Amino acid sequence: MSTGSHPQASNVKLLITLVIVGGVLILGIGAAFITVMVISHLGTTTGNAPATVARAGTQPLGLPPVTTSPASPAAQAPDEVARGFLQELTTGQLEKAHSRLVGVDGGRVPTLAEFRAEIDRFPTLKQARSRSLNEVHSDANTATYKGKVRGDDESVVEVTIELVRQQGEWRIARFSIP
Give the per-residue pLDDT at 39: 59
| Fold topology of 73-176 | Nuclear Transport Factor 2; Chain: A, (3.10.450)
Per-domain residue ranges for the chain?
5-62, 73-176
pTM of the entire predicted model: 0.57
- Torsion angle, CA of 117/128/174/139, rounded to 10 degrees? 170
Q: Indicate the burial class of 21 (C-beta count within 10 angstroms; 0-12, 13-18, 19 or more).
A: exposed
List, for residues 34-90, the tens digit of each pLDDT value: 765 555 544 443 333 333 333 333 333 443 343 333 444 446 899 999 999 999 999
Q: How far apart are CA 79 and CA 138, in angstroms?
A: 10
